[in-house]
Amino acid sequence: MKPGLWEMTMKSDAMKAMPKIPPEQLEKMKQMGIKMPDMKNGAMLHKVCFTKEMVDQDKPPSGGREQQCQNKNFSRSGNSYSSEIVCDMPEMKGTGNVKGSFTPDSLTSVYDFKGVSHGQPVSQHMETTGKWVGSDCGDVKPPVMPQKK
Protein backbone atom coordinates (compact mmCIF):
# COMPACT_ATOMS: atom_id res chain seq x y z
CA MET A 1 0.00 0.00 0.00
CA LYS A 2 1.08 3.56 -0.62
CA PRO A 3 1.34 6.02 2.27
CA GLY A 4 -0.86 9.09 2.03
CA LEU A 5 -4.53 9.96 1.82
CA TRP A 6 -7.03 7.15 1.25
CA GLU A 7 -10.78 7.38 0.64
CA MET A 8 -12.55 4.58 2.48
CA THR A 9 -16.11 3.34 1.89
CA MET A 10 -17.65 1.16 4.59
CA LYS A 11 -20.97 -0.64 4.10
CA SER A 12 -22.85 -2.51 6.81
CA ASP A 13 -26.38 -3.57 7.62
CA ALA A 14 -26.35 -1.22 10.64
CA MET A 15 -25.45 1.77 8.45
CA LYS A 16 -28.28 0.98 6.01
CA ALA A 17 -30.74 1.06 8.92
CA MET A 18 -29.54 4.42 10.28
CA PRO A 19 -32.02 7.26 9.93
CA LYS A 20 -30.98 10.03 7.54
CA ILE A 21 -30.00 13.26 9.29
CA PRO A 22 -31.75 16.28 7.74
CA PRO A 23 -29.37 18.73 5.96
CA GLU A 24 -30.24 21.61 8.35
CA GLN A 25 -29.33 19.45 11.37
CA LEU A 26 -26.05 18.42 9.69
CA GLU A 27 -25.26 22.10 9.12
CA LYS A 28 -25.88 22.91 12.81
CA MET A 29 -23.60 20.04 13.84
CA LYS A 30 -20.92 21.31 11.45
CA GLN A 31 -21.19 24.82 12.97
CA MET A 32 -20.65 23.25 16.41
CA GLY A 33 -17.43 21.62 15.17
CA ILE A 34 -18.87 18.11 14.89
CA LYS A 35 -17.50 16.40 11.81
CA MET A 36 -19.81 13.75 10.38
CA PRO A 37 -18.71 11.28 7.70
CA ASP A 38 -20.52 11.39 4.37
CA MET A 39 -23.29 8.80 4.07
CA LYS A 40 -24.37 7.52 0.65
CA ASN A 41 -26.55 4.50 -0.17
CA GLY A 42 -26.06 2.89 3.25
CA ALA A 43 -22.29 3.41 3.13
CA MET A 44 -20.03 5.70 5.15
CA LEU A 45 -17.32 7.54 3.24
CA HIS A 46 -14.34 9.02 5.01
CA LYS A 47 -10.73 9.89 4.41
CA VAL A 48 -7.82 8.29 6.31
CA CYS A 49 -4.16 9.26 6.35
CA PHE A 50 -1.74 6.31 6.47
CA THR A 51 1.89 7.07 7.31
CA LYS A 52 4.90 5.27 5.80
CA GLU A 53 5.44 3.52 9.15
CA MET A 54 1.86 2.23 9.13
CA VAL A 55 2.03 0.80 5.60
CA ASP A 56 5.52 -0.68 6.14
CA GLN A 57 4.14 -3.11 8.74
CA ASP A 58 3.61 -6.72 7.67
CA LYS A 59 -0.16 -6.21 7.80
CA PRO A 60 -2.61 -3.66 6.43
CA PRO A 61 -3.19 -0.61 8.63
CA SER A 62 -6.22 -1.02 10.87
CA GLY A 63 -7.08 2.58 11.59
CA GLY A 64 -6.78 2.00 15.34
CA ARG A 65 -9.27 -0.87 15.76
CA GLU A 66 -6.83 -2.69 18.10
CA GLN A 67 -7.62 -0.14 20.81
CA GLN A 68 -10.89 -2.01 21.33
CA CYS A 69 -10.09 -5.59 20.27
CA GLN A 70 -7.08 -7.74 19.39
CA ASN A 71 -6.05 -9.17 16.04
CA LYS A 72 -4.95 -12.80 16.42
CA ASN A 73 -3.71 -15.46 14.02
CA PHE A 74 -2.89 -12.92 11.32
CA SER A 75 -1.82 -14.54 8.06
CA ARG A 76 -0.80 -13.08 4.74
CA SER A 77 -0.24 -14.68 1.36
CA GLY A 78 0.84 -12.27 -1.36
CA ASN A 79 -1.68 -9.42 -1.39
CA SER A 80 -4.34 -11.29 0.61
CA TYR A 81 -4.67 -11.42 4.38
CA SER A 82 -6.91 -12.74 7.14
CA SER A 83 -7.10 -12.32 10.89
CA GLU A 84 -9.26 -13.32 13.82
CA ILE A 85 -10.71 -10.48 15.94
CA VAL A 86 -11.10 -11.15 19.68
CA CYS A 87 -12.86 -8.72 22.04
CA ASP A 88 -12.75 -9.53 25.75
CA MET A 89 -13.68 -6.37 27.65
CA PRO A 90 -16.52 -5.62 30.05
CA GLU A 91 -18.43 -3.60 27.42
CA MET A 92 -17.70 -5.88 24.42
CA LYS A 93 -17.11 -9.62 24.16
CA GLY A 94 -17.03 -11.73 21.03
CA THR A 95 -15.07 -13.01 18.07
CA GLY A 96 -14.97 -12.32 14.40
CA ASN A 97 -12.75 -12.41 11.37
CA VAL A 98 -11.55 -10.12 8.65
CA LYS A 99 -10.37 -11.10 5.18
CA GLY A 100 -9.09 -8.80 2.52
CA SER A 101 -6.67 -7.93 -0.22
CA PHE A 102 -4.72 -4.87 -1.26
CA THR A 103 -2.65 -3.34 -4.02
CA PRO A 104 -0.54 -0.18 -3.85
CA ASP A 105 -3.65 1.92 -4.72
CA SER A 106 -6.65 -0.06 -3.43
CA LEU A 107 -7.93 -2.35 -0.71
CA THR A 108 -11.00 -4.45 0.02
CA SER A 109 -11.99 -6.27 3.20
CA VAL A 110 -14.93 -8.16 4.68
CA TYR A 111 -15.44 -8.15 8.46
CA ASP A 112 -17.85 -10.40 10.38
CA PHE A 113 -18.32 -10.28 14.17
CA LYS A 114 -20.63 -11.96 16.68
CA GLY A 115 -20.72 -11.18 20.37
CA VAL A 116 -22.31 -9.14 23.13
CA SER A 117 -22.03 -5.37 23.59
CA HIS A 118 -23.34 -3.76 26.79
CA GLY A 119 -25.42 -6.88 27.45
CA GLN A 120 -27.03 -6.92 23.97
CA PRO A 121 -26.28 -9.49 21.24
CA VAL A 122 -24.28 -8.12 18.31
CA SER A 123 -23.94 -9.53 14.82
CA GLN A 124 -22.03 -7.28 12.47
CA HIS A 125 -21.09 -7.63 8.80
CA MET A 126 -19.08 -4.86 7.16
CA GLU A 127 -17.50 -4.48 3.74
CA THR A 128 -14.78 -1.91 3.19
CA THR A 129 -13.19 -0.65 0.01
CA GLY A 130 -10.46 1.94 -0.21
CA LYS A 131 -8.62 3.83 -2.87
CA TRP A 132 -5.46 5.88 -2.70
CA VAL A 133 -6.14 9.57 -3.33
CA GLY A 134 -2.63 11.03 -3.12
CA SER A 135 0.56 11.35 -1.10
CA ASP A 136 -0.50 14.61 0.61
CA CYS A 137 -2.91 14.04 3.53
CA GLY A 138 -3.72 17.76 3.79
CA ASP A 139 -5.51 18.42 7.10
CA VAL A 140 -6.39 14.71 7.65
CA LYS A 141 -4.35 13.36 10.58
CA PRO A 142 -3.24 9.70 10.85
CA PRO A 143 -5.25 7.62 13.37
CA VAL A 144 -3.73 7.24 16.83
CA MET A 145 -2.23 3.77 16.99
CA PRO A 146 -2.15 1.77 20.25
CA GLN A 147 1.15 1.56 22.10
CA LYS A 148 2.97 -1.79 21.86
CA LYS A 149 2.84 -3.64 25.15
40-89 pLDDT, tens digit per residue, is 767 888 888 989 888 887 665 554 444 568 888 889 898 999 999 999 88
pTM: 0.72
| Percent of the chain topping pLDDT 70 | 81
What confidence tier does 148 reach under pLDDT thresholds 50, 70, 90?
A: very low
pLDDT at 24 over 60: yes
3-class secondary structure, 136: coil
* pLDDT the model gives residue 63: 47
